[in-house]
Structure 1
Amino acid sequence: MNREDILKRVDHTLLSQTATWEEIQTICDDAICYGTASVCIPPSYVKRVKEYVGDRMAVCTVIGFPNGYNTTAVKAFETREALKEGADEIDMVVNLGDVREGNFEKVTEEIRTLKEICGDKILKVIIETCLLTEEEKVALCKAVTDAKADYIKTSTGFSKAGATFADVELFAAHVGPDVKIKAAGGISSFDDAEKFVSLGADRLGTSRLVKIIKAEKQA
């Protein structure tokens, strides 16, 4: 797999709390230049980013980020606002307290609620694998599948660890046929990115791959 094919799977991401508009513009320009799948940015920038990129790049944003413990009503409001302002894709965080209590029916219903709001727009579900047991990960594969979300995603990149090869393999073994996989957090090389794709990841959440390409061109 060549680098261009890998970049087509990348959600080029900047979710830092201190991200400025100048920095956001830069990642948008880079995403367009290198042909990534989307640019993933904070909700407060969605409207400006959509006006800036137009139809040249898909706009992704995050909901209930990074902790996931907002109420469903708040996540639903956030989602509607993001879509109204131009988001093409939504990455939501599940309520990990509900997961820890084994309340997967509630988790599934929340995901289903947001998917209904998204309609034909893509919904990715972040489950924060580094905080979960194997049994919880498997149960969440079922919840995401039952709720008819488009993707299950490993990580926010804001917790103890990011994506692992083992978690992507686990997802691939347990999600339904209509659910795709996004690996995110700590993907720092094209070799690792290619391995994630070979194990079943359809999307990669990272900013480092574009930075690598840019650095090489500037060398």
Structure 2
Amino acid sequence: MNHLFSYIERTVLHPGVTLNEQYDAFDEVTQLGLAGLTVSPFWVKKFRREMGADHPAALATVIGYPYGYQRTEAKQTEIEWALQDGARDIEVVLNTSALFSPASVWLKIEFAKLVALIHAQEAFFTVVLESALLDTDQLATMIKLAADTGADFLKNATGAIPADFSLDQALQFRRLAPSSVGVKIVADGASVSDMDQLVAAGVERLALSHPIQA
């Protein structure tokens, strides 16, 4: 699967993650030439130092993980610290609870506030949608909302809710997203053939939480 390395982001976000496990993922990113490393906010500063300023891989972190239902002000503070610590890709989890309530209008306001903060520091803004909780209409609406408010990437899942990989659903996510917006797919459980099809369909990033078998 060497030809896929430049599309793969290694994520190390599970609650029991150890420092050694994160160093192993960092070594994979460096040695295999992967696209990026995603760590929790607590570890951003350390891995920015390890990567240095010129490392070609993107250092990403998550905001509002895993359910997105923190107050916007809390997310803003998390983002400010993450940017200060050196993250260059900020993955913000959609507040699904707000979507399912009359407060859904607040989502557009929240995205507008957060994208301004992130883009002011020339970092990428990724919106994470927990696709398994949304029907097709809700998914399409939220994809459009995130794209219209300036998202650089859309991601189809947090990876925190167990779900079997579905190539059809992943390809549908790519079709629903505008071509102007990058797409990240959580690819745990996907075969090499599946990942090839995703890349051929225009998926820019494949997020894997397990070690790569080169």
Task: State the TM-score, normalized to the length of structure 2.
Answer: 0.90
| Cα shift readout 1:2-51 (whole Å, capped 9, x = no counterpart) | x3331111111111212122221111111010011110111100000000
What secondary structure sits across from 2:2 in the alignment? helix
Alignment of 1:122-141 (within 5 A): 122-141=124-143
Cα distance in 1 between the residues matched to 2:73 and 2:164: 28
| Cα shift readout 1:94-132 (whole Å, capped 9, x = no counterpart) | 100121236553212222222111112111111100111
Cα distance in 1 between the residues matched to 2:106 and 2:164: 25
- Runs of 4+ in structure 1 displaced over 6 angstroms? none
> Contact conserved, 1:169 with 1:199, CA < 8 A, in 2?
yes
Are 1:18 and 2:20 counterparts? Answer: no
Indicate the residue corresponding to 1:157 in structure 2.
159
Indicate the residue corresponding to 2:169 in structure 1.
167
In structure 1, list runs of 5 or more residues that go unmatched. 214-219
What secondary structure sits across from 1:181 in the alignment? strand
1:168 to 1:108, Cα distance in 2 relative to 1, 3 A: farther
What secondary structure sits across from 1:69 in the alignment? coil
Indicate the residue corresponding to 1:42 in structure 2.
40
Are 1:68 and 2:68 counterparts? Answer: yes
Indicate the residue corresponding to 1:88 in structure 2.
88
What secondary structure sits across from 1:36 in the alignment? coil
- After TM superposition, give the deviation of residue 80 of structure 1 in Å: 0.9
What secondary structure sits across from 2:76 in the alignment? helix
Task: State the TM-score, normalized to the length of structure 1.
Answer: 0.88
- Identity, in percent, stands at 26
In structure 2, list runs of 5 or more residues that go unmatched. none
What secondary structure sits across from 2:212 in the alignment? helix
> Contact conserved, 1:124 with 1:153, CA < 8 A, in 2?
yes
Cα distance in 1 between the residues matched to 2:194 and 2:63: 27
- After TM superposition, give the deviation of residue 167 of structure 1 in Å: 3.2
Aligned residues, how many? 210
Cα distance in 1 between the residues matched to 2:93 and 2:71: 11
| Cα shift readout 1:142-187 (whole Å, capped 9, x = no counterpart) | 1111111011111011114265333333333333332111101524
Indicate the residue corresponding to 2:212 in structure 1.
211
- After TM superposition, give the deviation of residue 91 of structure 1 in Å: 1.0
